[in-house]
Amino acid sequence: KQEVTQIPAALSVPEGENLVLNCSFTDSAIYNLQWFRQDPGKGLTSLLLIQSSQREQTSGRLNASLDKSSGRSTLYIAASQPGDSATYLCAVDLYNFNKFYFGSGTKLNVKP
Amino acid sequence: DADVTQTPRNRITKTGKRIMLECSQTKGHDRMYWYRQDPGLGLRLIYYSFDVKDINKGEISDGYSVSRQAQAKFSLSLESAIPNQTALYFCATSDRGQGVGELFFGEGSRLTVL
């Protein structure tokens, strides 16, 4: 079974800081890895998807990297803003099963 | 309109009642999922379906059943609801087999069992 871990569980930073969220997984036979944002009581919004053959993806101030050999992905947020405050989840799709396994998320608070 | 629609969005019920959560999608994806989210536990897979005739149990299927009425519709039922099934439930679709395998979510159904 795929285990997905996200560290830290919570993070509080002042506005303007660059920050890194971590996601680790135990089975490297993945199809893709996806990062989501979730606001309180709301659904999940897809931020970035990295396919198995890729090393990173970028969208605006967000950059996600993937290292399958070490079972790790990072989400880099540049110049954080209060509007970035949310919970960030990573999900891993195993190659042979198409079942997505989720980490428990990192709750980010960006202080004005 | 949302591509993945869940109804109802909120439901309060009593122990022992039968509840159905419905999901419909306009994305044309074959693959659909039901997840449950509890505080601090992330999302856990209840059931998933790769087409109308292919339905599979996830990691926490006990106490739940599903029906895939059509490619676009996937319903989750709680035959006899209990309080520890109080949670936020999400339906999702995947375009794997047709695209890069991206997962798309509905807005969620908040269920409270008293």
B104 touches A at CB < 8 Å = yes
> With an 8 Å Cβ cutoff, are A104 and B101 in contact?
no
Average pLDDT over all residues of chain A = 93
Residue by residue, DSSP assigns A59-109 as ETTEEEEEETTTTEEEEEE-S--GGG-EEEEEEEEETTT--EEE---EEEE
Alpha-carbon gap: B47 to the closest alpha carbon of chain A (Å): 10
Buried b (16+ CB within 10 A) or exposed e, A39-61: eeeebbeebbbbbeeeeebeeee
Selecting from A4, A46, A104 the residue whose C-beta is nearest the C-beta of B102 gives A46
> With an 8 Å Cβ cutoff, are B43 and A89 in contact?
yes
How far, in Å, CA of A105 to CA of A4, rounded?
A: 10
How far, in Å, CA of A75 to CA of A88, rounded?
A: 9
Restricting to B residues 55-84, those with a Cβ less than 8 Å away from any Cβ of A are 58-59
Q: What distance, in Å, lies between the first and last C-alpha atoms of chain B? A: 32
**What's the rounded mean pLDDT across residues A56-62?**
96
> With an 8 Å Cβ cutoff, are B101 and A42 in contact?
no
Extract the tokens encoding A7: 């560290």
**What's the rounded mean pLDDT across residues A12-24?**
97
**What's the rounded mean pLDDT across residues A10-14?**
96
Report CA-CA distances (Å) from A12 to A18, A91, A107, B105: 12, 22, 8, 27
Q: Which residues of B are less than 8 Å from A1 in CB distance?
A: 59
Q: Please write the tens of the pLDDT for every residue from B79-105.
A: 999 999 999 999 999 987 777 788 999
**What's the rounded mean pLDDT across residues A21-50?**
93
Selecting from A34, A41, A103 the residue whose C-beta is nearest the C-beta of B102 gives A34
> pLDDT tens digits, chain B, 114 residues: what are they?
669 999 999 999 999 999 999 999 999 999 999 999 998 778 999 999 999 999 999 999 999 999 999 999 999 999 999 999 999 999 999 987 777 788 999 999 999 999
CA A106 to chain centre: 8
Specify whether the CB–CB gap between B48 and B32 falls below 8 A. yes
pLDDT at residue number A104: 93
Q: Tell me which of A97 and A72 has the higher pLDDT.
A: A72
Alpha-carbon gap: B74 to the closest alpha carbon of chain A (Å): 16
Which DSSP letter does residue A16 get?
Answer: T
